[in-house]
Every structure is written in C-alpha cells, then in structure tokens.
Structure 1
C-alpha cells in the first residue's frame, strides 16, 4: 500500500499543478482580451484623438488591475486613426494590449517563467458625430 501511494502522489501533484496552471492561463488570456475591448470602447466615447488615446490606455490598465491580473511588463496601445476619417464614413478604433504573465511560482516541469499574451479590441465610432 505504501508503495502505491509513493507512486501515485507525484502524479496527483502534477495533475493538480496542471489544473492550477491551466486555470491561471485561461484567466490571464480572458482578462487581456476583455481589457483590450474595454480600452477600445472607452476610447470610442472620447471627443478627440488625444483624449481617446489617454482614456483608452487608462481604461485598459484599470481593467487589468480590477481583475487582479499581474503583469511583469504590459503595454496598452490605442490606434486613433479613425478620428481622421471624414464624418459620415464608418470608422473603427482598435486597442492592442500585451502582458507578460509570470508563471514562475507554478512549479511544473517545462513550464516557462512567463507567457507573453496579447489581446485586441475594437469599437466603432459614431458615423455622424463631429470629429
């Protein structure tokens, strides 16, 4: 009986570690994509390109902080080229978020120290509002 437990215990610990790592990876990917979408939406509500970049960047960062995602390094970039499109023409703002999520505390063989995740969000500008 002791030999069986000695053989099964490492396998069970490995399975538990894989479940924890998989859950954290799912959470991190979902949070990055949601933050990118929130960033684009906030930027689309701004009145000008400069304000949209600032508001979108802040919204993306706040969304990741609120969700509890810790990134070793992160960046939020909001493309405001849609504000240059003439009024009456459909235009879309995009937001790209990158995050290096540390996985060093998950002690699994072959698990990288961190994973580089990216998310892209987009939101339409009102076609007939003044730009």
Structure 2
C-alpha cells in the first residue's frame, strides 16, 4: 500500500483595500479637550458641595444655640433674667463652635413668666444670623440667612416674676 499525500494548495493572501479619500484618525488634543470640559465642572461641583456643607452646618449650629438659649431661659427666675441668660448662652454657644454666623440677633419671648404659677407656660428663643459664602474655595458673593427657633417649658409650679 502506497499512500501518497496530495500537495496542499498554495495559501491565498487577502487583498487589502484602502478606502478612497479617507484620512487616518489622529487623537492628538483629545486629552486637552477633556480637561477643558471636565476640570471646571469638577471645581464647580466641589464648590457647590462646600457651600452646601457650610449652610447646613451653620443652620444646625444656630438651631442648637437657640435650643440651649431656650433651656437657659426656662431655668431663670424672672423674665428679665431669662432674656439676659438666653442671649448670653446663645452667644457663648456660637463662639464655642467657631460658627461662621455673623451678627446673631437673639429674640427672647419671656411672656410666660407673667402667668401665675400652676399654669403651663413656655419661653421661646429665635436666633437669626447671616452666613457669608465669600470665604469658600470658590468665592460666592452674598449672604444666606440662617434661623433657629426653640421653645422650652417653664416649671408649672415654680414661682415666676416678669
């Protein structure tokens, strides 16, 4: 038995064709364009996040200071002492947390001290201030108003003086 192998056909080479009038693509400058578009967007996003954090933080600080002032006012023995005590506590509280709150205005409602003992009464403290946004990473002109309101119940059976 004589086996002979048949010769294999010659390999065919593919014909490469170039499209007519087509230029090769060039990516030069693509990174520069991406930076020009992306970097300002990222800076703006960071600036907005920082401004939002500042506003949220100061509003929380003002609310906490109003609550502390209302509690201090409810522990006072008279309406005038309650007003002085509330203002002192609010200012000390805002200074202790190094708040960005400028010129806080404290309004104390101590009308509950004029009611007779044995009736329910409350004190109310309202704190309002302005928050500057000009000292952030990206300076934003203007101010934002921050407000805090709190009430505290007076001891029902304690003697009160206006």
TM-score range, shorter chain: over 0.9
Structure number with higher helix proportion? 1
Is residue 128 of structure 1 aligned with residue 157 of structure 2? Answer: yes
Report how many residues are paired. 129
1:121 CA displacement: 0.7
Residue 116 in structure 1 maps to residue 145 in structure 2: yes
Larger Rg: 2
Deviation of residue 105 (structure 1)? 2.2
CA distance in 1, matches of 2:104, 2:70: 16
Q: CA deviation at 1:67?
A: 1.4
Gaps of 5+ in 1: none
Cα deviation for residue 7 of structure 1 reads 1.1
Secondary structure at the aligned position of 1:8 is classed as: helix
Give structure 1 regions of 4+ aligned residues with deviation exceeding 6 angstroms.
Answer: none
For CA contacts below 8 A with separation 6 or more, give which structure has more relative contact order: 1
**TM-score where L is the length of structure 1:** 0.93
Give the distance between the partners of 1:113 and 1:72, measured in 2 at CA: 13
How far apart are the structure 2 equivalents of 1:71 and 1:117?
A: 8
**Structure 2 residue runs without a partner (length 5+):** 1-30
Selected match of 2:101 from 71, 78, 81: 71
Q: CA RMSD in A?
A: 1.2
C-alpha contact (below 8 Å) 2:58/2:101 kept by paired residues: no
Q: Distance in 2 between matches of 1:53 and 1:72?
A: 20
